[in-house]
Amino acid sequence: MKSLPYSFALLLTLLVHVSSQGAELVLRERATQQGAIIRLGDIADISSASSAELRILASTPLLPAPAPGTQQFLSVAQVRDLLIARGIQIDQLTISGASLVEIGVATKQAESHKKSAAPELTHQAAELRIRQAIERLLKNSNVTGRWSVEVSLSESLVAKIAKLGTNFEARGQRKLRTGRQRFFLSAGDSGKDVQVMATLTQIRSVVVARQRIERDQLVRATDVEVVDREGNLPSGSITDIEQVVGKVAQRSLRPEEIVQKNHLRASWQVRRGETVSVYVRTGGIVVRTRAVAKENGAMGDLIIVELLEDKKKLAVSVSGPGEVSLHATGGRATDYASLRRDDTRRR
């Protein structure tokens, strides 16, 4: 029979290199190992983005089990060091729960007592299991978007969750919605459902100001960023950063303020009082003349200009920086004298 150290070393060489991105470990107060090797799944409840990564993390060997009747303790720092030594990337691994994990192979008497007692479970581990069950329910119910699940449990509820084990499902009382609502947890033929209250909040990506943006400032890519926000968003909130960059702020924006459509305007291509080129098109002929803009205008805006030659006023379309266009069929100068003008001009 091969020695334990040899078997343990062989197990380590077979372990694949795993990225722990998005995984969460909740350390238990006591290990629940069954064999000669202590594995990560023996000392922690694990959540992961993929079932494959979950299986690999749970089966990761950490160290040989202590001799029968003896105890050993693992700190959070020691757990991290062991994971690094096993080739697990822990940069984005979240570890919470107990600060010390007690490890010891139970005697027959202790094992008998363990079977009769209710399994122990921390608040964090219980809440994690419930969040995972509700997230599975949201996914299976074809609920769109991303959601945050908040759960708060009493001691009595934690004990009930422990009796359900690790494999239970959640169902809602009615159509899933945002806000606080009741859920029912069940684990096959375990008996009566366990009722819990949880709060669902939808998560949306929005554009916010990274730093203060002043009024009339041209918004650059470095001025804004896309972040996740929970709950209700202001009307007209912008979700695409391309709809913001290159626009001009109509009012000052605070850092982290959500950018809304009415906060922005297109940049002026023509400014009031500026001398512009007027291109008059009729058929295949283009005539160029000069005029003074009587108001500001963005690309495509209809503005009034005054010709330099005869002071006639025309309604023209802004076609570029310092340029406006007029189609001969669009009207005559006399038509614009009767145009109803807004009391509030572009400034």
Residue 12's pLDDT is 43
344 falls in which pLDDT band (50, 70, 90)? very low
pLDDT digits (tens, 9 = 90+) for 93-116: 888 888 888 887 555 544 454 444
- What mean pLDDT do residues 251-280 have? 94
44 falls in which pLDDT band (50, 70, 90)? confident
Residue 116's pLDDT is 47
120, 122, 127, 129: CA torsion to nearest 10:
-50
**Max Cα–Cα distance, the chain, nearest Å:** 109
Residue 315's pLDDT is 94
Residue 347's pLDDT is 43
Residue 163's pLDDT is 84
pLDDT digits (tens, 9 = 90+) for 166-201: 888 998 877 888 888 999 998 876 567 899 999 999
DSSP string, 150-195: EE---HHHHHHHHHH-S--EEEESSS--SEEEEEEEE-TTS-SPEE
Q: Tell me the domains of the chain and their CATH numbers.
A: 4-116 (3.10.129), 123-201 (no CATH), 204-265 (3.90.1210.10), 269-337 (2.30.30.760)
| CA distances in angstroms from 21 to 91, 93, 94, 228, 253, listed in the order given | 8, 6, 9, 18, 34
Task: Reduce the DSSP state of residue 137 to 3 states and report it.
Answer: helix
| CA distances in angstroms from 184 to 137, 153, 159, 169, 198, listed in the order given | 11, 14, 15, 8, 10
pLDDT digits (tens, 9 = 90+) for 271-326: 999 999 999 988 778 899 999 999 999 988 999 999 998 999 999 999 999 999 99
34 falls in which pLDDT band (50, 70, 90)? low
